[in-house]
Amino acid sequence: MTTYLVTGGAGFIGSNFVLYMLERYKDITIINLDKLTYAGNLENLRKVEKDPRYVFVKGDICDEKLTASLLEEWDPDLIVNFAGESHVDRSIKDPDAFLNTNVKGVVNLLQRAKDAWLDPKSGKWKEGKRFLQVGTDEVYGYLGKDGYFTETTPLSPHSPYSASKASGDMFAKAFFDTYHMPVCITRCSNNYGAFQYPEKLIPLMINNARKHKKLPVYGDGMQIRDWLYVEDHCKAIDMVLKKGRPGEVYNIGGHNERTNVFIVNTIIKELREKLNDDLINEDLIIHVEDRPGHDRRYGIDPTKIRNELGWYPETSFEEGIIKTIDWYLDNEEWMKNVVDGEYMKYYEDMYAGREELK
């Protein structure tokens, strides 16, 4: 029986990972530690809430006593850290929250794992233990028109969010270099799929378009992102946990580069056809003032993880976006429960004050 401590497991990627693992493996136990901030949603995990292999614990990764007690009680073999503040706009408004969770929280988890797994007398680590820090390609900063981010690309974060994630990654690497802790770091491109909180581009546009609300696009909308279907990301994390080399970084990319405005137009087209609603059209798009420090292009080279571990993205964007739109259409109640809450205040704060570009 392998025991996982998954932090942030009620969030978008974390909950998808919990469901992915419990569906594929019978002999595992997952302890899900989540603070349940605005983006943590236990509805995501309703399918497994009564599964004896799954345990939920409400708490903060910055809490030293709690994290230490979980490691003592459950003695997890693997720690997967998804917990973190993840939205650039929020980081611009409140950098301190990102410092606390994405840096201090990571250091606390690393230190508590070190206390539990390292024998101070022999200097040896317990067999079979591993810590995975889940990161983002945004730590690399702006990418030009050509080329891709590799694991050796220098870190150059441009927002408080990406700076905090880069700091967490560097602490994870430092624990490997200093203590030989069995740590791996993954850096993924933009994820999309079920359960994504509707402050992010794809669920935001799906929700607004079906209600005939305006579709706010930053600047000219020509920012390019590499889109990765969340289930492909979960598969990659599973493989890194099993076979990744300690101390290594693995980039996880979908090879699905698209501009933001292309994404929006695709959602409009698919929803108009699926709902037979001509009011869902390009006239809903408004171009608003760009966010500060908005990187123009990201693109990941996943050659290393393909060559070393055999991972590759199985889901094309054309397939994944249809799956995603269908999920949101089939789960109206989930979306309603989310947008009726704190999200709506946040949405107004983010977009109501931005001037439409003429």
pLDDT given for residue 357 in this prediction: 57
Residue-level pLDDT at 34? 95
Cα Rg, the chain, nearest whole Å: 20
> Is the sign of the CA dihedral 318, 324, 325, 326 positive or negative?
positive
Active-site residues, by number, are 137-138, 161
Residue 25: inside a domain: yes
Q: What is the pTM of this model?
A: 0.92
CATH number, residue 120? 3.40.50.720
**84 is a domain residue:** yes
Residue 47 within a domain: yes
The reply to whether 8 falls in a domain is yes
**69 belongs to a structural domain:** yes
Domain assignment present for 36: yes
> What are 106's two structure tokens?
């990571």
Q: What's the pLDDT score for residue 344?
A: 56
Structure tokens at 21: 């693992």
Domain count, the chain: 1
**Reduced to 3 states, what is the DSSP secondary structure of residue 245?**
coil
CA distance readout (Å), 151 to 82, 249, 345:
20, 6, 38
The whole-number pLDDT of residue 301 equals 93
Burial 12-46 (b: 16+ CB within 10 A, else e): bbbbbbbbbbbeeeeebbbbbbbbebebbbeebbe
Residue 260 lies in a domain: no
State both tokens at 327.
């999920």
Distance CA 131, CA 260 (A): 34
pLDDT at 264: 97
Domain that holds residue 249: 2-196+227-255+294-315
Distance CA(261)–CA(72), nearest Å, equals: 49
pLDDT along the chain (358 residues), means of 10: 97 97 98 91 93 96 98 98 87 92 97 97 95 96 87 95 97 98 97 93 96 94 93 98 98 93 97 97 93 83 97 95 98 88 59 58
User: Can you give the pLDDT at residue 353?
Assistant: 61
How do residues 45-93 score in pLDDT, each as one tens digit? 999 999 999 999 999 999 999 999 999 999 999 999 999 987 788 899 8
Confirm whether 308 is domain-assigned: yes
